[in-house]
Amino acid sequence: MASEKITAMIEEVKTLTVLELAELVHALEDEFGVSAAAAAVAAPAAGAAPAEEEKTEFDVVLKAAGANKIAVIKVVRALTGLGLKEAKEIVDNAPKTLKEGISKEDAEKIVNDLKEAGAEAELK
């Protein structure tokens, strides 16, 4: 059971109005450097999993052609199936998204191919 001192304090708090209670809470927060806000409860691991799902679809973005533009155009043509003129326009107008919604393995291979040709590319 609570001591007489605590019981007396509780009885005194019961007589306060809502505004007086709010003022008391703020005064206690200031005095002791604490917060009366409810502590955040850690979510169970199963509940946290959907928020941190691994991305399954990636986009490949050509950021810049680099020094060897011809090699990059060849890689872009091979990846997209476009003609020479269309592939050159993509390379000239970088940054451009080359592939969308592909697997991580495929996207990484494409980025590596582009980098080997001298281009700057990234996964998104």
**pTM of this structure:** 0.53
Q: List helix spans (H) across 2-83.
A: 4-14, 18-32, 45-48, 69-80
**pLDDT tens digits for 10-36?**
999 999 898 888 898 889 888 888 877
Which architecture, in CATH terms, is 54-123? 2-Layer Sandwich (3.30)
Average pLDDT value over all residues in the chain: 82
Domain ranges of the chain: 1-42, 54-123
Q: Would you state the structure tokens that stand for residue 26, as one six-digit string?
A: 């703020």
How would you list the strands of the sheet with 58-64, edge to edge?
96-102, 58-64, 120-123
Q: What percent of the chain has pLDDT over 70?
A: 84
Indicate if the pLDDT at residue 111 is higher than 80: yes
pLDDT at 4: 92
